[in-house]
Amino acid sequence: MTAAIAVGILVAGGVFLILRPGLARITVGFILLGHAVNILLIAADGAGRRGAPLTGEGDLARMADPLPQAFVLTAIVISFGITVYLLALVRASRRTGKPDSDPDDPGPSQ
């Protein structure tokens, strides 16, 4: 249940930020969405109803599935790389002095 609530809040925040103008907000939005999906992946191992998947920590049959942790590790590496790339894009658009939102967008109200 905790995981579901956390995923819900993160997705709501992520989607809100992605729909805002400006690449920097979109980047933060994708960081939040990435975390949401990672929690969803972790929740797939059944840790909520089983023991922690650590060797030497009790019965193998009652242990949570360790494979989603390997998935999440890979997903974190990928989303880290993408975040760095997006930040580089933000920086590049700052340097060229071009606005980083759509030209046909009204932009944030000021």
Partner 1 sequence: MSGAVLSLPVAVPLLAAAMLVAMPRRRRLHLVTGVAVTGGILLLGGAVLATAVGGTVLTLDIGGWPPGFAITLAADAFSALMLTVSALLVLASLAYAAVADEGGPLFTPLTLILSAGVYGAFLTADLFNLFVFVEVMLTPSYALLTMTGGGRGAAGRIYVTVSLLASMIFLAGVALVYSVTGTVNLGELAGAARHSTAAALACSVVLLALAAKAAVVPLHTWLPRTYPAAPAPVMVLFSGLLTKVGVYAIIRVYAVVFAGAPQYRWVIMTAALLTMVIGILGTIGEQTMREILAFDMVSQIGYILLGLALFSTAGLAAAIFYLVQYVLVQAALLVAAGTVETSHGGGTLGKPSGLAHRDPLLAVAFMIPASSLAGLPPLSGFIAKLSLIQAAVAKNSYLAAAIATAVSFLTLLAMIKIWRGVFAGREAAATARPGGRPHALRAARPALIAPGLALAVPAIVLGIWAQPLFTAATAAADGLTSTAAYVQAVGR
| Distance in Å, CB of 18 to partner 1, minimum | 7
CB 90 within 8 A of CB 24: yes
44 binds partner 1 (CB under 8 A): yes
81 binds partner 1 (CB under 8 A): yes
CB 9 within 8 A of CB 46: no
Nearest to partner 1 of 54, 74 (CB atom): 74
CB 86 within 8 A of CB 94: no
65 binds partner 1 (CB under 8 A): yes
4 binds partner 1 (CB under 8 A): no
The whole-angstrom distance between residue 109's C-alpha and the CA centroid of its chain comes to 27
Nearest to partner 1 of 59, 104 (CB atom): 104
Alpha helices of 19-66 — where are they, by DSSP H? 23-43
Which residues make up the interface to partner 1 (CB under 8 A)? Answer: 18, 23, 26, 30, 33-34, 36-37, 40-41, 43-44, 46, 65, 67-68, 71, 74-75, 78, 81-82, 85-86, 89, 92-93, 96, 98, 100, 102-104
